[in-house]
Structure 1
Amino acid sequence: MLRLLTPDPARHDDWAALVTAFDGGAMDGSGYVEGERPDTSADAFAAHLDHRLGEEDPDREPAPGRVHGSYRWIEEDGRLVGFIALRHALNRFLFDQGGHIGYSVAPAARRRGVATGALRLMVDEARARGLDPVLVTCVEDNVGSRRTIERCGGAYDGSVAGMRRYWIGTGERPVRPAV
C-alpha cells in the first residue's frame, strides 16, 4: 500500500536509510538542493524537519526565495521509498522551472508505479488546498518522469531552460509572477 506521510521525528533511521539509498543523486521533493549531501545525524535530521515542517506553517515566514509548502515521505508497504513536496504558491523560478510538485523515488523502488501513485495522491492534496491546476516539471530528457506526469493527466505547456512544464487540472492557470 502506498501512502504519503508527514515527516515523523520517530523515523530518523528510516529517513537516513532512504537518504543513503539515493547515493548522492537528486532528491527532488526532499527539501534538499541537488548536489547537497544531507547530514544524517540525529541533530541535523531534527533541524531539517523543523525547517520543512515550518514551511507548511502559514504563520512562519519561509526562507528567502522559498514558498510555503507541504513535505511528505512516500511510504510503500511500511518502507520509506521517496520524497514528494507541494509548494502552495509559485514564485517566478517555480513557475518557470520548479512547479508546484517535486518528487523523487529511491532507485530500488523505481519502475513499479510508486511515482505515479504518489503524484496522484499529491494532486488530490493540492486540490483539497484549492490548488487547481498544479504545475509539475521534469528535466527534458527524464523519460520516466515525463511518463509519470502524463499518466497523471499532465498537459505539456512547453519547456524552459531544459525543464518540461506540465499542468494537471482543469482550473484557470496562474499568471507568471513578477518575482
Structure 2
Amino acid sequence: MGKLSKQIILQKITSRFGEQISVPTDPFGLLTFETSKDNIREILTFLKEDKELQFNYLTDITGIHYPENELGIGVIYHLHSLINNVRVRIKVFLNTENPVIPTATTLWQGANWMERETYDFFGINFEGHPNLVRILNVDDMTVFPMRREYPLEDPNRVDKKDYFFGR
C-alpha cells in the first residue's frame, strides 16, 4: 500500500466528521486539527479502525496550558500509521476549572501511562481510566507543575534588580 497524502487523510476525516473538526493546519509537515471532548473518542476510533488510514500506533498524549484562553487546557494526541508511514496531531481544548476528557485506554493500552503522566503534570482527568493516580510527582502534591499558574521567577531575588545591570 502506498503512502497516503495529507489531503486524502483530511478529506476522509472531514467527509466523516464534517463540522466536528476544525482548524486543519500543517505545521512542520504534521497534519493537525482540533475537535471537542465530545467527539474525541469517536474520531480516535475511526482513525485507528479505518481500513485505509490505519492509525494503529499512539505515539504520545500530552497536555498544554494557555492561561490567557477561555479553554486554557489542551490535550494533544499524536497518532502514527505504521502501514502508511504518516502522522497526525489532534488537539482538544478543555475548561481550566474542570478539565475532563474520555480515556483512550479502551483503544490503546499504552495510553495508560501517558494519561497518568498528563494528569500528574496538568491535572487533566481522563474519564474511565483504570488507575488515574500520580506517576512521577509525590502523591500528596496539591498543584500541577506544568500549569502556568505561578510567576517564573521569584520577585524577591535581589540579584535580578536593574541597578546591578546599570539600568
The structure richer in helix per residue is: 1
TM-score, with structure 1 as normaliser = 0.34
TM-score, with structure 2 as normaliser = 0.36
Between 1 and 2, higher relative CO (CA 8 Å, sep ≥ 6) is seen in: 1
